[in-house]
Each structure stands twice: as C-alpha cells, then as structure tokens.
A and B are shown apart, each in its own frame.
Chain A
C-alpha cells in the first residue's frame, strides 16, 4: 500500500511566459514542498518575479502548468497564498491599521488578527502613523504583515530584504524562520546568497527563464561556498560572468 504523501505547496512544470518574442520564462520547473523555505536565486531578468507573478495570477502563462496544494491553479486557491512582490503596494495617506483593515475585509479575516501581525512585524508602536512617514524597512515590514494577514499556507516573498539595513535583514530572517516554524511554506527570491543559505531548506536557480538547479543548499555550495556554486551554474548556462 502506497504511503500517501502531502502534496507540494507549489509545483511548476514547463512554465513559459513570452513577451513579444522574448521568453521571460522558458519552461521553468519548480517543486516547493509543504512546510519548507525554498529560495529562488538567479541574476536580474532570470524570471524570478515573473514566475511569482504567474503563480499569483498577475500574468497569464503562455504555456506549462502550475499546481497549488496539489490542485490545478485556479483563482480561489489564491485565498491560501500571501505575497509581497516587487513593492508592498501601500497607500501613502493610510496608516498601518487602515491598510490591514482594508485587506482583512477583502480577505474575510477577523479584525483581531491585525494586532497579531502588527506585533509579528514589529509595527505595533507605529500602527497609527501614516505610511508616508515610514522608512523603507517599515514599509516592507507592513507589506509582510499584509501578506501574512490571512494565515496563508504559502507565502511568496520577492527580494524581501531589498533596501533593508542589517537590523531589518535580521528581523526579516527571524520572520521567515518563524513562518517556517509554524508550518507555513515560503518561497523567497533574493540576491543575498548568504541570506538564502541561512534561511532556506532548498533552493532553485533560475537562469534565462529555465530552472538550472533545484536541490539543497549544500548540493549547490561546492565546498561550502554557495557563491561559487551559483556562479558555476551561471557559467554552465553560458552566462557571461566577469
């Protein structure tokens, strides 16, 4: 008798996205297991953000398949997904509570959850301050709070440490680890190889829209050097590395 396996939180098979003859995704494959923190690496223009957008239904794939929680991708399944892609998407005149209240209403989340996520991202003390007065790091943290509001099973974070100072990066790392400890699946893209090595269970390397590596951090980090392993993959793909 076969042992039933828990379905992957996200499966991407042969995903393509063409923009006027340019393939942003060229048959990308990815499997993110439930409960793991999966790091998505790749140079600029590799297709990391496009892949996340396709998962979120923000762009229509030209081909391939996306499965969420074992099911073919459909809009209602996005109720179980939280995301922070490109920018936090905030309204400058609203305060943190105003933002979270709007998203809570749209997502059918109890208002009590607002306090929880504000505490989680460390914004409880500035909850009533307009976002226009927030630092970049505070805006990103609010973006994370919005992403976590509906207790998603899968969280997509697109370069969440961009623009953060070392303190902010450490806090973000703690948040992601906390999510993993709660059993939430996290797909995180980043250019910070050291960060990825610290927080991820597995990683994938995307180059020119294709998955060139998928496996453990140790598997890519030749002799413990993740950067060397990453550049080796790039060179194998013919990527010009100076």
Chain B
C-alpha cells in the first residue's frame, strides 16, 4: 500500500474555462440544427404572413396597415416568447443528455455550464428578437412610419426579451430537472397563460405573462391584439420597470436554484 501523499496538483490552466469560453462552446453546439433554424425562421414565419394578411384587412383599407401589422405581430411575439424559451431550453438540454456525463467529469464547476447555457440561449433569443425587429422595421419603412415609430418598435421587441429572461431560466431549470416533455408543457402553458393573464391585476405573479404585459402599454393593444380604449389602465407604462426588476430577480433566483440542482445532480 502506498503512503505518499504528494500528488502533483492539477494545472490551474486545466478545466478552468471562463464563463465566456463556456458560453462559446454552447454557441458552437447550437450553430447547427433545430435551434439555429428556429431562430432564423420563427420571426420570418411570424411576420411575413401577418404582413401579407394585414394587406387585405379592413384596417389597411382605412389607411392603418402599419398599425394592424405592428399590433398583431407584437401580440404574436408576446405569446411566442415563453414557448420559444421553452423550446430552446428543452432542445438544448436534450442534445446534451449524453454529453453531461463527460462534461460533468471535468473539474469545471457545474454552475458555469448552466449559466453558459442560459447566456447562449438568451443570446439566441436576442438574435431572434433582432430579426423580428428588422422585419417590423421593414414594415414600418414600407408604410412610411419608421421615423415616428422606431423607438416604440425597438422597445416593444426587446423589452419582452428582457422580461422573458425569467422564462428562459425557468424553462432551463425545468428541462434540467424533469426533461423535455415537462419543459414543452411549461412553454405551452406559458404561451396560453401569458396571454390570458397579461391584462389581469395579478400579472406580476405569473412570470410567463411578463413579456406580454410590457408589450401592452408600448403597442397600445390588449392581449388579443385589439387596440386599447383611450381610458384603459393598460396604457400605464409604469408596469415596465417593475416587470424588468421582477424578471431579473427571478432569473437570478432560478439560476441559483438550477446551479444547486446541477451541482447535486447524479448521472
């Protein structure tokens, strides 16, 4: 039996990637396949048919082509954010299922894998948002409304992304703990529940409603895409700041919970 205890310590160079490096490896894995295609196609599949459909609407005939296109597209976007977050998380975690055994056998702290994946998926959703924003901008340009409406357009596209970070974190934790099916279920429930709850007083208690809730006052629409009456309390933009604070706080909590789960996870 050996009695020596002086094994050389591991090189600090090894198994100590920065969060940026971990995120880059996540991005490298999502460059091919469903996530990449979804990111590129979802905004196009949403916006182009809606624009073409708007052309034949009565609102367009009344000279409100831009308004109807913008309203229905943003409404769709508010519904899409929770299910997109769920799809991203479910597919990304499923693709890693076999690889976790290898990745977790490294000296890399496991929380970095979680946060790296969260950052990568959030970046993908940001890219998706940017494409949608660009398509909306094209619609605004074609209808001569870009100069007036671009601040609203940018805010209504990116604030749902920001408040949707909590949806991404939630979906990621569910995917890691329970797998693909429950994650998709959370996404579908979020898609429906978000639209149903966004105009209720208790919207703040339902994270999947936050992306839609911030769209309502910015676009001046209800969760059904119909313009709000002038005296509607949903015009109040004071909800945006609390929604952002809630989203960022919940994201931090969920990532902490996910990190603990991943650290304790046995494979």
Contacts and interface: CB of A to CB of B under 8 A. Distances in A.
B101 A5 contact: no
A79 B11 contact: yes
A89 B24 contact: no
Given A5-B4, A71-B5, A107-B14, A89 B106 contact: no
Contacts of A241: none
A70 B2 contact: yes
Nearest to B16: A108
A81 interface: yes
Given A57-B104, A76-B107, A91 B29 contact: yes
B33 interface: yes
Contact of A89 (B14, B100, B109): B100
Given A53-B267, A106-B106, A70 B28 contact: no
A79 B15 contact: yes
- Residue from the set A6, A80, A81, A87 with the largest chain B CB neighbour count within 10 Å: A80
A7 interface: yes
A59 B104 CA distance: 10
B238 interface: no
Interface stretch (A93-101, A173-181, A189-197): A93-101
Q: How many residues of A sit at the interface, in one of the four size bands? A: 35 or more
A128 interface: no
A6 B4 contact: yes
B99 interface: yes
Interface in B78-114: 95-96, 98-109
B105 to A, nearest CB: 4
Contacts of B2: 5-8, 11, 31, 33, 70
A77 B107 contact: yes
Nearest to B113: A106
Contacts of B52: none
A80 B3 CA distance: 20
A186 interface: no
A177 to B, nearest CB: 24
Contacts of A1: none
A4 interface: yes
Contacts of A93: 32-33
Interface string B199-214: 0000000000000000
B7 interface: yes
Contacts of B4: 4-7, 70
A58 interface: yes
B25 interface: yes
A109 B24 CA distance: 15
Contacts of A138: none
Contact of A78 (B95, B98, B100, B107): B107
Nearest to B28: A102
Given A106-B21, A108-B13, A90 B98 contact: yes
B98 A87 contact: yes
Interface string A57-88: 11110000000111100011111110101111
A78 B15 contact: yes
Contacts of B32: 93-94
A91 B109 contact: no
A58 B17 contact: no
Contacts of B96: 91
Nearest to B10: A79
Contacts of B109: 75
A234 interface: no
B15 A108 contact: yes
Given A56-B105, A70-B6, A89 B98 contact: yes
A107 B106 CA distance: 8
A73 to B, nearest CB: 11
A106 B107 CA distance: 10
Contacts of A79: 10-11, 14-16, 106-107
B231 interface: no
Nearest to A87: B98
Interface of A: 4-8, 11, 31, 33, 53, 56-60, 68-71, 75-81, 83, 85-91, 93-94, 98, 101-103, 105-109, 146, 150
Interface of B: 1-11, 13-17, 21-22, 24-25, 28-29, 32-33, 95-96, 98-109, 264, 266-267
Given A81-B105, A90-B98, A94-B29, 6 more contacts: A11-B2, A33-B2, A60-B264, A88-B102, A91-B95, A106-B22
Q: Can you list the 4 inter-chain pairs with the closest CB atoms, starting with the nearest? A: A69-B7, A79-B14, A70-B7, A79-B15
14 contacts: A7-B2, A8-B2, A57-B104, A69-B7, A77-B9, A78-B10, A79-B10, A79-B107, A90-B98, A94-B32, A106-B25, A107-B106, A108-B17, A150-B14
